[in-house]
Amino acid sequence: MSACTVDEKMTVKEVIADLKVAPSTFYRWRQLGKGPRAIKLPNGDVRIRRSEYERWLTEREDAA
């Protein structure tokens, strides 16, 4: 995996499609501080670094 791929910025739509969860679930996790760390853009859009998403998933695996 290249460094470019690792730091790719994912949209919320891409994350929820990958996780197969409802948008409301993802936003509830964010509100509770249980979602992956995200970047809030000046226009209000949210992006998640792929590396952060993968780290967050691995952490969930350990907690399962």
pLDDT at residue 44, rounded to an integer: 95
Question: Would you place residue 5 in the very low, low, confident or very high pLDDT band (cuts 50, 70, 90)?
Answer: low
pLDDT at residue 56, rounded to an integer: 95
Structure tokens at 42: 């000046």
C-alpha to C-alpha distances, 11 to 44, 62, 63, nearest whole angstrom = 12, 25, 25
List the one residue out of 61, 14, 54 whose CA is nearest residue 36.
54
Q: How far apart are CA 15 and CA 27, in angstroms?
A: 11
Res 38 pLDDT > 70 = yes
Res 6 pLDDT > 80 = no
Percent of the chain with pLDDT over 90: 81
